[in-house]
Amino acid sequence: MPTSSSSSSSFSSAASSSGNRQADVFSRLASSDPEVKLKALREVKNQIIGNRTKKLSFLKLGAVPAIASALSDSECNSILVQSAAALGSFACGFEAGVQAVLDAGVFPLLLRLLTSSDEKVVDAGARSLRMIFQSNQAPKYDFLQEKNMKFLFSLLNSENENVSGLGASIIAHACGTTVQQQVLCDAGVLEKLVILLDGSLSQREACLESLATVLKNNPEAVSRFVGLEAGRYLSSVTELTKDRYPRTRLLSCLCLVVIYNTSPSYFLNMGTKSSLVTTLLELLNDHGQSGDDAALGLSSLIAEKEDLQKLAYEANAIKNIVDILKTGSELHPKRLQGLFLSLAELCSKLEDCRCSFLSLEMLDLLVNALRHKNADVRTAACICFRNAARSVKNLSAGRFTNDHVMLPLVQLLHDPSSSVEVAVLGALSNIVLDFSSPKSTFIEYGGIKQLIELSKSMDPNARCSALRALRNLMFLADNKRKELFYSEVKAQGFVSLISDPEPTVQEQALALLRNLVDGCINSIEFVFDEDGLILDTVGKQLRKSPQAHMAIQGMYVLTNVASGTELHKEAVMQQLFPQPQAESNNFMLKFLQSHESQLRSATVWTIINLISPSSPGAHDRHVKLRDEGIIPQLKNMVNDACLDVKIRIRTVLSQSMSFGDN
């Protein structure tokens, strides 16, 4: 029993007397006298409803198993009703309660109540089961079993609104896979659910929730739904977005978002799109759970859709969201995540949005979010940073590269959550592209070392993102920065990166290398370190028939090396045509015939640099290229479909002609 030693006597007696009272009512639960038991059950129920603190303390006393036995042992309807209601309350929005209730074996007991002749017993059972199904811990309902499907439909067909609502709730929370969606649709669940749309408030809401689950990412199910009575129900759901009850408006919006994301063709009407955006924006102001869900719903709606982002921007979304974030009251993590993701989506493509957002003194709030205890919030804040930093204007104004912003971002490189890691790497990738200051706060904070660490992470996403950030960091970098970086990696390190098992990681590593050797001639020397280890590895990878994206970066590495001295050009030739060659493994020819225009272009560039007339060995290299069939191949490509390639080929051929060959 908790008693505080430092508070006044009346307070400590309050705590101990409440504890006493609870223990007293708890002992009466076990009474053999049904009257006493009933009274105790009612008392517990009335104490815990709405009162999370009491739920916890009764839970600790072991009230749940005690009430469960009352439920299983009794035949008296009043006792059944009260115990079911009490158990339902334990499970209402309280995860520890749901767990305790399930552990006590209450689930089958509640199911039994559904067949009672007493309406109140049925109501109590259905309500409590619905509470359980709101939680992720609810037992997985196997729709694929015939008897389960039958039972589900018997629920949906019931006249009792709590029971039919339970049926819809089960679907809303248990239906996850496409197979389940298919099985439900084939059994006619859509036809049953839409009837609930015309029912009571709770039936409508349960219906909307379950519809969203059944239709999500399933174009067949969506077309089936829209086809019902020639689109009548789609109109009904659209109408409900203007309903008086905020939760109904929210759930119908979320349903429409699901349909839009699955099959956008049903939303050709601009008006519907626009009102969907504005309704969700309004719902953001709701203080309860509806507001939380609205934020996530909005981000899901506008994701990747520039036209909707514009609509939202014009409807003043940025200012509205920022105002909510600035209210200072503690917002639910789900809401914060949704709001930051929405801002991130708004800033993803539209420069106006980014400028507007950054002009609203948001950076402090965003920086605070980086330190939020919830990983999803931190991730969302990072994504927001990443997209906002796409604004070159604001980036070069140094908005992101001051200590205030940089330090917390760099600290997140050590974050335990992998999603945060990847997200912050994305943000840093963009931020390090700031050319306005020669000094880099990021590097001062030991950023390079950390990125190199992460490039060795177990998670391929993290490796890829870290390399992308490094690649950007080396873009047009000065020698000092390049030396600093290289000294941490060395030749062997690079070889490991380029030989990574994941092709996407290899690609980023080569792109990084490309940037490293770009620029002044000294930079090219990196690939010759340790007897040309890095250059050899690049050549080896190119000879292995790599994917196009990787090959592009590899060829650009060779292009950059070939822009150097005579020695450099010869070294490239060595890689292109190593001796002895067992068979004609001429990857250059293969690349020139690739479908990817960028690969063709990169290969031609290498050739341009190899035979640029100003260098002494150009003529001999030209002969070799001709003999290997490269020049003839280029002659066949004079009308290449890609303009860039065509122009480069003309350059080569004119160089070729200057050697006096046809």
Partner 1 sequence: MATSKKVITRDEWEKKLNAVKLRKEDMNTLVMNFLVTEGFVEAADKFQRESGTKQIDLATITDRMAVKKAVQNGNVEDAIEKVNDLNPEILDTNPELFFHLQQQRLIELIRQGKTEEALEFAQEELAPRGEENQAFLQELEKTVALLVFEDASNCPVKDLLDISHRLKTASEVNAAILTSQSHEKDPKLPSLLKMLIWAQNQLDEKAVYPHINDLSTGQLETLSE
Residues at the interface with partner 1 (CB under 8 A)? 10-11, 13-15, 17-18, 42, 45-46, 49-54, 85, 88-89, 92-93, 124, 127, 200-202, 244-245, 287, 329-330
- Separation between Cα atoms, residue 39 and residue 22, nearest integer Å: 14
Q: Which of 204, 290, 213, 208 is nearest to 247 (CA)?
A: 290
Nearer to partner 1, 63 or 175 (CB): 63
DSSP-derived 3-state class of residue 5:
coil
Given the structure tokens 């839970």, which residue do they identify?
59
Smaller CB separation from partner 1, 49 or 367: 49
The residue (of 10 and 487) whose beta carbon lies closer to partner 1 is 10
CB 414 to partner 1: min, Å: 30
Q: Which is nearer to partner 1, 131 or 347 (CB)?
A: 131
Q: For residues 92 and 571, which CB has a smaller minimum distance to partner 1 in the complex?
A: 92
Q: Is the separation of the CB atoms in 554 and 538 below 8 Å?
A: yes
d(CA 364, CA 366): 5
**Which of 202/455 has CB closer to partner 1?**
202
* Beta-carbon contacts of residue 199 (< 8 Å; ≥ 6 apart): 161, 164, 207
Q: Nearer Cβ to partner 1, position 126 or 431? A: 126
Least distance (Å) from partner 1 to the CB of residue 49?
5
Q: How far is the CB of 50 from partner 1 (least distance, A)?
A: 4
Q: Which are the contacts of 115, defined by CB distance < 8 A and separation ≥ 6?
A: 122
User: Do 601 and 648 touch, CB atoms closer than 8 A?
Assistant: yes
Residue given tokens 């060395």 in the structure block:
490
Angle at 525 between CA 522 and CA 528, to 5 degrees: 175
Q: Work out how close the CB of 12 gets to partner 1 at its nearest, in angstroms, rounded to a whole number.
A: 10
Quote the least distance from Cβ 468 to partner 1, whole Å. 40
Least distance between partner 1 and beta carbon 177 (Å): 30
Q: Which is nearer to partner 1, 16 or 586 (CB)?
A: 16
Cβ closer to partner 1: 77 or 278?
A: 77
Distance in Å, CB of 252 to partner 1, minimum: 16
Considering the complex, what minimum distance in angstroms separates the CB of residue 54 from partner 1?
A: 8
Using CA atoms, how far apart are residues 175 and 182, in angstroms rounded to an integer?
Answer: 10
- The dihedral over CA atoms of 405, 411, 416, 420, expressed in degrees to the nearest 10, equals 30
Taking alpha carbons only, the member of 411, 487, 488 closest to residue 445 is 411
Q: What Cα–Cα distance (Å) separates residue 615 from each residue in 567, 620, 649, 656, 658? A: 11, 11, 19, 14, 13
Q: How far is the CB of 1 from partner 1 (least distance, A)?
A: 13
Q: Are 102 and 141 in contact (CB under 8 A)?
A: no
CB of 411 to partner 1, least distance (A): 27
Nearer to partner 1, 169 or 309 (CB): 169
Q: How far is the CB of 201 from partner 1 (least distance, A)?
A: 4
Distance between terminal CA atoms of the chain?
A: 99
Of 17 and 177, CB closest to partner 1: 17
Tokens 């709001």 sit on residue = 339
Check: CB of residue 505 under 8 Å from CB of residue 460. Answer: yes
Pick from 122, 197, 136: nearest CA to 166: 122
Stated as kind and residue range, the H or E segment containing 192 is helix 189-196
